[in-house]
Amino acid sequence: MSGFVLIRGGRVIDPANGMDATGDVLLEDGIIRAVGRPDVPSGAKVLEADGLVVAPGLVDMHVHLREPGFEYKETIAGGTLAAAAGGVTTVACMPNTRPVNDDPSITGYILQKALLEGIVNVAPIGAVTKGLEGRELTEMGLLMRAGCVAFSDDGRPVADSGLMRRALDYSRAFGALIIQHAEEPSLSAGGCMHEGVVSSRLGLPGLPAAAESVMVDRDIRLVELTGGRYHVAHISVAGAVEAVARARARGLPVSCEVAPHHFSLTDEAVVGYDTDAKMSPPLRSVEDRNALLEGLARGVITVIATDHAPHDSDSKRVEFCHASNGVVGLETMLPVSLELVRDGVMTWMDCLRAMTVAPARLLGLDRGRGTLSPGSVADLVLFDPEAVWVVDAARLHGTSKNTCFHGRRVRGRVKKTLVAGRIVFDDDL
């Protein structure tokens, strides 16, 4: 929407500025001009927000858009539609496409496709190694110049210690963030769910928690050696949380994210062999889940990200161990995360910070993404914090429907999502 737009009378929560108060937000030509009780120009279009929370648009730094190469699972158009329906205005997309995003031409293709067909901001993450093969580093400088905002071989770990050392060292030249899928392959090989009592009961091969914590321990030693910026993707075990806590206490540039399915579910969800409860890393034990909640409460875990991983039904409707890893999460991130507020784990401010300004700053996103500061681009979400609804996989907006929250009763519903001042999702339509 061009011209002036007034979002009137909502509960404005902006963690970047420590604001939580009833007020208005004034936009002009896609830019936030004022927050609070601004003078309203005549002719301004008004969006009523009474009873709604008005917050910066969510930033999800861990999304698989599947295009190019796996369009039968998801497209950039479908993935960004799902994002908009979930109040997410920026998605950082992982490089495990076909071809892999390890070359500036692929980065350019993704950005061009997003410009033409996407409805939210798309920020590509480039591969750490060529072809995700763990043998040769990519040209990170060229990839950043093409538009990549961070680097990861997500889906696979950077297992070779020498290569990881060089990646952390090399990335310092660009201030780039290295995002690790932390898993020691020699420990996790052959496993398809968390190793524990439940895997024994079900007769399924397990992945021990140590496979993750061993890799995080190793990487933190390499951060000490190099000074590179390091981020643990989808952290899931208590040992890894404690390792990150120790590193942060020592001032190392280490951070981590947690996915809603990991802090809200345990390996008991696998009982019944539901392949929509299969992901990597797997759902963990009650003790691990409790450690994740404590990590969020203590501020050790600073980011909530979905690891949104769409899969077609043929990839999921097979024997459990043969099913593809991953679940969709863009449309359920907000209401499932708000359970943390209602359960007293996090404050409103901290919960929204973990989905807005915290990931935006880690990725170095420009134009004030993740804040409502005057002068920032007008990416916003308006949601009803009290609206109760039941997750129905068939009604999700993305191409694939593999949610692990089907049938879950949740509270908090997105009413409108705006990107650069334009409404890209309206629940009333």
Tell me which residues are annotated as active site. 307
Is there a cis peptide before residue 281, judged by omega within 30 degrees of 0? yes
Backbone angles phi, psi at 377, to 5 degrees: -65, 145
Q: Helices H, strands E: what count in the chain?
A: 14, 18
Residue 406 burial (CB count, 10 A): 16
**Which residues are within 8 A (CB) of 387 and not within 5 positions of it... i.e. 6 or more apart?**
411, 412, 413
User: What distance lies between CA 132 and its chain's CA centroid?
Assistant: 20
Three-state secondary structure call for residue 56? strand
Residue-wise DSSP of 331-356:
TTHHHHHHHHHHTTSS-HHHHHHTTT
Nearest to 220 by CA among 172, 145, 279, 161: 161
CB neighbours of residue 286 within 10 Å: 11
- β 254-258/229-232 pair status: parallel
Pairing of strands 4-14, 45-48: parallel
Number of Cα atoms under 13 Å in the Cβ half of residue 90: 31
Q: Do you know the residue count of the chain?
A: 429
